[in-house]
């Protein structure tokens, strides 16, 4: 068992220190050559004889906080217990190298302690240098805040100062801190105009959890980080740009999609009739997207299994409505506005709806149900001349359709006559737990029939 509370000290002081245990020395000077600056590294302590790495449970102090001898600075979880780690030096916590919830091997630096304010900047530089060398997961760059230079103990201790009357609920405050949302810039929609957790979640781009009474902020399961990620070759001069929230969401969804067993079925569809129809209805504001969405929706009506979802690996969930999500690229991001009840709306309404959705998406004003309620996704790269591609099935849906460009193709009919017809390749990716090959084939056949005889689309 480790002693109840540990302290860290510096090896600069060679004289005896009133320490409980010699093993508690885990703060050493940054470098012996620079004598003037006393920036000390705070090391992951060995809390037990069997401990090889420790997890930071929480930093009791924040960057910029003044520390005085004997104060608890950080809580470390070992294989046996959580221990408070105390400082044996006065100083300023200049930088946190290993954040809460992250793990570091015993003896590796977890934070930097500066002796005075002047050294904070240097310590920070040191910390960011450390970050770049270390595995990406363990080292989020310390936020380059100007305010740390002020470094009065009170400056960092209180939550954002409310200049006007900004009322923020306790959980909203926590979320804002977690997602780095400035509550002063939000407009509260809660009772009495206060800022609710939902407001913060919206600002952070998170769809609110279904279970909003969920408590205990469990550390989110860390995304599967490539082990030994540090071994990627560093190419000089490269710039690292963090994901935007939207990009992070895409990334998360894509990684999640790997857990679903998918397969793909392609189908050539003749489009001469569709093209002719399109020319006719185009002046009335009908878009190709609306035509394809309508056709897909009509085919789905006949093949409800393709519109179903497998949520738990054991059941089919047959969706009551057919909501066609259409993937669109938007300023470096990707979003899927949803045409709800696409089977029930007529082409013109659908086209109008689509126009609205695209405008909202550009203005970043889509409501969650306008981008996350899809039951089937349509992705069309035909306008770029792509003739075929396959799509990744988004989590929570049964199938996604990838539409290629329509182009003139030489066709031999059963009598041996050649002709040239426009054909496009349609490729559907589906969840094989619920949708089988024959299902997709039948669905595509229906879809192809609708496209080749498109009169029904206008009804």
Partner 1 sequence: MQSAISLSLSSQSPITRSDFSNTNNACLPSPQSFRFCGLRREAFESRASLNTSSLFSPRLHSHSRFNKVFAALESNGTTSSSVFDYDLVIIGAGVGGHGAALHAVEKGLKTAIVEGDVVGGTCVNRGCVPSKALLAVSGRMRELQNEHHMKSFGLQVAAAGYDRQGVADHANNLASKIRSNLTNSLKALGVDILTGVGTILAPQKLKYGKAGSGDTTITAKDIIIATGSVPMVPKGIEVDGKSVITSDHALKLEFVPEWIAIVGSGYIGLEFSDVYTALGSEVTFIEALDQLMPGFDPEIGKLAQRVLINPRKIDYHTGVFATKITPAKNGKPVQIELIDAKTKEPKEPKDTLEVDAALIATGRAPFTQGLGLENINVETQRGFVPVDERMRVIDANGKLVPHVYCIGDANGKMMLAHASSAQGISVIEQLSGKDHVLNHLSIPAACFTHPEISMVGLTEPQAREKSEKEGFEISVAKTSFKANTKALAENEGEGLAKLIYRPDSGEILGVHIFGMHAADLIHEASNAIALGTRVQDIKFAVHAHPTLSEVLDELFKSAKVKVSTSNPVAELVPV
Q: Which residues contact 334 (CB under 8 A, 6 or more apart)?
A: 246, 250, 327, 328
Does 210 interact with partner 1 (rule: CB under 8 A)? yes
Q: HSE of 145 in the Cβ direction (CA atoms, 13 Å)?
A: 15
**Residue 81 CB, nearest distance to partner 1 (Å)?**
4
Does 1 interact with partner 1 (rule: CB under 8 A)? yes
State in Å, rounded, how far the first CA of the chain is from the last one: 78
Stretch of residues binding partner 1 (CB under 8 A), selected from 26-34, 188-196, 432-440, 445-453: 188-196
Handedness of CA 220, 63, 94, 46 (dihedral sign): negative
Alpha-carbon distance 277 to 288, whole Å? Answer: 10
Does 207 interact with partner 1 (rule: CB under 8 A)? no
**Residue 27 CB, nearest distance to partner 1 (Å)?**
22
Closest Cα to residue 45, out of 102, 95, 86?
86
Q: Where are the alpha helices (DSSP H) in 180-257?
A: 197-204, 245-257
Stretch of residues binding partner 1 (CB under 8 A), selected from 73-81, 140-148, 264-272, 432-440: 73-81
Does 215 interact with partner 1 (rule: CB under 8 A)? yes
Residue 60 or 381: which CB sits closer to partner 1?
60
- Number of residues located near partner 1, criterion CB under 8 A: 34
Q: Where are the beta strands (DSSP E) in 153-291?
A: 262-270
Does 455 interact with partner 1 (rule: CB under 8 A)? no
Does 4 interact with partner 1 (rule: CB under 8 A)? yes
Closest Cα to residue 396, out of 311, 338, 316?
311
Q: Which residues contact 318 (CB under 8 A, 6 or more apart)?
A: 304, 305, 307, 308
- Asked whether the beta carbons of 274 and 290 are under 8 A apart, the reply is no
CA separation (Å) from 390 to 5, 44, 378, 379?
58, 47, 11, 9
Q: Which of 129, 150, 162, 276 binds partner 1 (CB under 8 A)?
A: 162
**Residue 73 CB, nearest distance to partner 1 (Å)?**
13
Q: Exposed, middle or buried by CB within 10 Å (0-12, 13-18, 19+), for 269? A: buried
Q: Which of 174, 264, 432, 433 binds partner 1 (CB under 8 A)?
A: 174
Q: State the Cα torsion 414-415-416-418 to the nearest 10°.
A: -80
Does 49 interact with partner 1 (rule: CB under 8 A)? no
Binding flags for partner 1, 78-107, as an x/- string (CB under 8 A) = --xxx-x-----------------------
Q: Which residues contact 26 (CB under 8 A, 6 or more apart)?
A: 8, 42, 43, 44, 45, 46, 107
Alpha-carbon distance 183 to 177, whole Å? Answer: 9
Both structure tokens of 395: 């989590």
**Residue 219 CB, nearest distance to partner 1 (Å)?**
9
Does 169 interact with partner 1 (rule: CB under 8 A)? yes
Q: Which residues carry out catalysis?
A: 432
Residue 212 or 453: which CB sits closer to partner 1?
212
Alpha-carbon distance 148 to 56, whole Å? Answer: 22
Binding flags for partner 1, 302-341, as an x/- string (CB under 8 A) = ----------x-----------------------------
Does 57 interact with partner 1 (rule: CB under 8 A)? yes
Stretch of residues binding partner 1 (CB under 8 A), selected from 86-94, 198-206, 216-224, 442-450: 216-224
Does 146 interact with partner 1 (rule: CB under 8 A)? no
**Residue 82 CB, nearest distance to partner 1 (Å)?**
7
Does 21 interact with partner 1 (rule: CB under 8 A)? no
How many other CB atoms sit within 10 Å of the CB of residue 129? 10
Binding flags for partner 1, 269-308, as an x/- string (CB under 8 A) = ----------------------------------------
Query: Hey, which residues does 339 pair with through a beta bridge?
Result: 324
CA separation (Å) from 435 to 310, 392, 428, 448?
9, 15, 11, 18
Stretch of residues binding partner 1 (CB under 8 A), selected from 101-109, 159-167, 408-416, 448-456: 159-167
CA-derived radius of gyration, the chain: 29
Does 346 interact with partner 1 (rule: CB under 8 A)? no
Does 170 interact with partner 1 (rule: CB under 8 A)? yes
Does 217 interact with partner 1 (rule: CB under 8 A)? yes
**Residue 53 CB, nearest distance to partner 1 (Å)?**
16
Stretch of residues binding partner 1 (CB under 8 A), selected from 112-120, 209-217, 297-305, 438-446: 209-217
Residue 23 or 352: which CB sits closer to partner 1?
23
- Asked whether the beta carbons of 389 and 278 are under 8 A apart, the reply is no
Interaction site with partner 1 (CB under 8 A): 1, 4, 57-58, 72, 75, 80-82, 84, 158, 161-162, 167, 169-171, 173-174, 190-192, 194, 197, 210-218, 312
């Amino acid at each position: 068992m480790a002693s109840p509370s540990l302290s860290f000290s510096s090896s600069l002081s060679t004289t005896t220190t009133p320490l409980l245990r010699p093993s508690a020395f885990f703060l050493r000077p940054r470098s012996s050559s620079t004598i003037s600056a006393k920036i000390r590294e705070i090391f992951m302590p060995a809390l037990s004889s069997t401990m090889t790495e420790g997890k930071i449970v929480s930093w009791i102090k924040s960057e910029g906080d003044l520390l005085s001898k004997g104060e608890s600075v950080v809580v470390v979880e070992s294989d046996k217990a959580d221990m408070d780690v105390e400082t044996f030096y006065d100083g300023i916590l200049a930088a946190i190298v290993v954040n809460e919830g992250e793990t570091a091997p015993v003896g590796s630096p977890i934070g930097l302690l500066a002796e005075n304010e002047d050294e904070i900047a240097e310590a920070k530089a040191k910390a960011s240098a450390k970050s770049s060398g270390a595995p990406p997961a363990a080292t989020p760059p310390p936020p380059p805040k100007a305010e740390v230079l002020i470094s009065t103990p009170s400056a960092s201790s209180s939550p954002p100062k409310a200049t006007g009357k900004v009322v923020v609920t306790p959980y909203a405050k926590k979320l804002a801190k977690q997602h780095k949302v400035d509550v002063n810039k939000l407009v509260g929609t809660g009772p009495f105009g206060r800022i609710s957790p939902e407001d913060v979640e919206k600002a952070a781009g998170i769809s609110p959890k279904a279970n909003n009474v969920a408590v205990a902020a469990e550390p989110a399961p860390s995304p599967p980080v490539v082990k030994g990620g540090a071994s990627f070759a560093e190419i000089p001069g490269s710039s690292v740009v963090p994901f935007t929230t939207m990009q992070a969401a895409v990334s998360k969804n894509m990684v999640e999609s790997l857990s679903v067993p998918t397969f793909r079925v392609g189908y050539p569809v003749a489009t001469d009739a569709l093209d002719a129809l399109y020319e006719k209805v185009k002046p009335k504001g009908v878009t190709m997207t609306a035509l394809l969405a309508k056709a897909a929706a009509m085919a789905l009506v006949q093949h409800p299994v393709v519109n179903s979802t497998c949520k738990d690996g054991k059941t089919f969930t047959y969706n009551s409505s057919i909501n066609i999500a259409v993937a669109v690229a938007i300023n470096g991001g990707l979003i899927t506005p949803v045409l709800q009840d696409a089977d029930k709306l007529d082409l013109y309404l659908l086209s109008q709806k689509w126009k609205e959705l695209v405008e909202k998406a550009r203005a970043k004003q889509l409501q969650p149900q306008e981008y996350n309620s899809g039951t089937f996704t349509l992705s069309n790269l035909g306008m770029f001349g792509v003739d075929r591609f396959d799509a990744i099935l988004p989590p929570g849906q049964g199938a996604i359709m990838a539409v290629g460009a329509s182009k003139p193709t030489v066709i031999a009919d059963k009598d041996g006559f050649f002709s040239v017809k426009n054909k496009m390749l349609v490729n559907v990716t589906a969840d094989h737990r619920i949708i089988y090959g024959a299902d997709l084939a039948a669905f595509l056949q229906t879809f192809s029939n609708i496209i080749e005889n498109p009169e029904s689309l206008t009804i």
